[in-house]
Each structure stands twice: as C-alpha cells, then as structure tokens.
C-alpha cells in the first residue's frame, strides 16, 4: 500500500494521458491538463472537447499511471501516452490523428502538440 504522500506524486503535468479504464468503457479517451492535487478529493481533466471534475479516492499511482475510484466506487485508470502507442493505435480515435502521428516524432513532441493545441 502507498503512503498518502506517495499517492499525490501523479500526475505528470506535462503528460498526455489516455483513459485505460472507466465506468463508461471508453478506453481511447485522451486526458489533458490533469490536476496535480488530489487532496481536495477531486480529479479534474480536459479532453479535447470539455472539462471534467470527478469526486474520487486515489487507489494507486505508478511511475506512469494512476487509478482512482469515483464516489460510486467505479474504477478509473489513466496512463501516460507514448508516441509508440499513439502511432500504433490511438491515432485512429482522434480527429486528425494520422496528421498528428506524422508530425510528432517523440512522446515529448506529442505531449507538447496537445498542450499547445488544447491549452487552458
């Protein structure tokens, strides 16, 4: 089990995340601008259309992912997107995905593209 301080090390403010598990079954949803402070009991993030705020309890954090349960006890999991994953799979599920895959050569370039395109 993780200490309370360890649970709050995620997320990486620079990263682009993909929702790997949610109560809605959408495992292709990208998440940007994920809050870095879970202490208030909420997670906030933007997808490419709108913002989300979910009351949560953090379950686990790892080096490149984190999981939480919403107040109904449903599991959510986010992982950092790599350029390899984007180019092999995720590009198919986002608008202009092939173009983005063609212009971004590294994970950091991909993350920067999304931060710049969908800034808050």
Residue extents of the structural domains in the chain = 4-117
Residue 86 and residue 99: Cα distance in Å, rounded? 12
* Phi-psi sector, 73: left (phi>0), alpha (psi -120 to 50), beta: left
Q: Quote the DSSP letter at residue 93.
A: G
Q: Which of 94, 73, 76 is nearest to 85 (CA)?
A: 94
Phi, psi (rounded to 5 degrees) for 76: -130, 145
- Cα distance between residue 97 and residue 20, in whole Å: 18
Q: Which helix (H) or strand (E) holds 107?
A: helix 107-117
Query: Per residue of the chain (120 residues), what is the pLDDT tens digit?
Result: 444 444 444 567 788 999 998 888 777 889 888 875 555 678 888 887 888 888 888 788 888 988 889 989 999 999 999 999 999 999 999 989 999 999 999 999 999 999 899 876
Using CA atoms, how far apart are residues 39 and 22, in angstroms rounded to an integer?
A: 21
> What pLDDT, on a 0 to 100 scale, did the predictor assign at position 87?
97
Give Rg (Cα) of the chain: 14
């Amino acid at each position: 089990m993780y200490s309370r301080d360890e649970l709050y090390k995620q997320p990486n403010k620079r990263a682009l995340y993909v929702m790997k598990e949610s109560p809605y079954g959408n495992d292709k949803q990208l998440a940007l601008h994920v809050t870095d402070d879970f202490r208030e009991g909420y997670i906030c993030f933007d997808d490419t259309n709108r913002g989300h705020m979910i009351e949560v309890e953090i379950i686990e954090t790892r080096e490149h992912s984190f999981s939480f349960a919403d107040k109904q006890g449903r599991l959510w999991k986010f992982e950092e997107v790599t350029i390899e994953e984007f180019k092999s799979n995720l590009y198919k599920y986002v608008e202009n995905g092939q173009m983005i895959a063609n212009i971004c050569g590294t994970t950091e370039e991909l993350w920067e593209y999304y931060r710049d395109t969908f800034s808050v």
